[in-house]
Amino acid sequence: QSALTQPASVSGSPGQSITISCTGTNSDVGGYNYVSWYQHHPGKAPKLILYDVSDRPSGVSNRFSGSKSGITASLTISGLQAEDEASYYCSSYTSSSTLVFGGGTKLTVL
Amino acid sequence: QLQLQESGPGLVKASETLSLTCTVSGGSIRSSSYYWAWIRQPPGKGLEWIGSVFHSGSAYYSPSLKSRVTISVDMSNNQFSLKLSSVTAADTAAYYCARHGWATWASDIWGQGTMVTVSS
C-alpha cells in the first residue's frame, strides 16, 4: 500500500487559516469515512485531533476541522496560534483491513 | 486513565529480532472496542503503521512488513508485544504503541515511544 499524499510543508501567520490536504485512493480515503488526523510535536507522542473525517475528540479545539471530497481529505486550522506549529499526519483505514498514514506536513507559524 | 508504556532494548544488531512490549495500565487490554497497535517513525521520516492486534489474538499487519512481524497479546500481564525479525538499519526508528477503535481505526491513546537503533 502506498502512503497517502500530503504537502511536505505549509505556513501561515498567527490568526490566519491554513488547509492541509491528504490524497489517497478509492481503496482508502475515498472508500471509507475513517480518516483521522494527528498533531505531532517533536519528542512527543502524536495526538489525535480529528477522527471519522471531521469529529473532534473531547478537549480538542474547535479551531481544527476536517472534510472529505472523493479521494481527498482536508484538515483546516483556523485562527493559527504559535502552539499549532507541528507536523500533521492523516491516516485512513483501507479495504485490506490495514491502516495507512500520509507522509506528514510540517506547519510553520510565521 | 488508560496509559501505554513501551519497553525493550534500545539497540539491536542487524539480522537479529527486535522485541518490544507495551504495558497497558489504568484499563484492560480485554476491551472489545479496541485494537492495540504498533507504529514507528524513522528519523526524519513520517509515521508508519506496523500492525494491530485484538485481545483475541487476531492481528493485521502492514503488507510491507508482514513477512517479518508478529504482534501478540499477553492478557495475564495486560501487555502486547512486537517482534520484528531480520532487522536492518532501515528499521531504526522511534516505536510507538497505541490504542485504536475497532471501527474507526483512530488512535486515541499513545505511548511516549521508544527509540530503537539497529547497529551493524
**Cβ B112–A45 below 8 Å, yes or no?**
yes
Phi, psi at B75, each rounded to 5°? -70, -30
What does pLDDT average to over chain B?
96
Is residue B87 within 8 Å of residue B18, measured between CB atoms?
A: yes
For the residues B81-103, what does the mean pLDDT come to? 96
| Of A3, A43, A38, nearest in space to A20 by CA | A38
B74/A contact by beta carbon, under 8 A: no
- Give yes or no for residue B45 having a pLDDT over 90: yes
Determine, for residues B47 and A45 on separate chains, whether the beta-carbon distance falls below 8 Å: no
* CA B120 from centre of chain: 23
CB pairs below 8 Å between A and B: how many? 67
**Nearest CA-CA distance, residue A23 and chain B, Å:** 15
Residue A40 has pLDDT above 80, yes or no: yes
- Band (pLDDT 50/70/90 cuts) for residue B32 is confident
CB atoms closer than 10 angstroms to residue B106: 23
Is A66 in the B-facing interface, judged by CB distances under 8 Å? no
Q: Which of B62, B101, B113 sits opposite A98 (nearest CB)?
A: B62
Q: Give B70 to chain A, closest Cα distance, Å.
A: 15
- Predicted confidence band at B102 (pLDDT cuts at 50, 70, 90)? confident
Q: Which residues of A18-45 are buried (b: 16+ CB within 10 A; e: fewer)?
A: bebbbbbbeebbbebebbbbbbbeeeeb
User: A99 and B63 in contact by Cβ < 8 A?
Assistant: no
A102: number of Cβ within 10 Å: 27
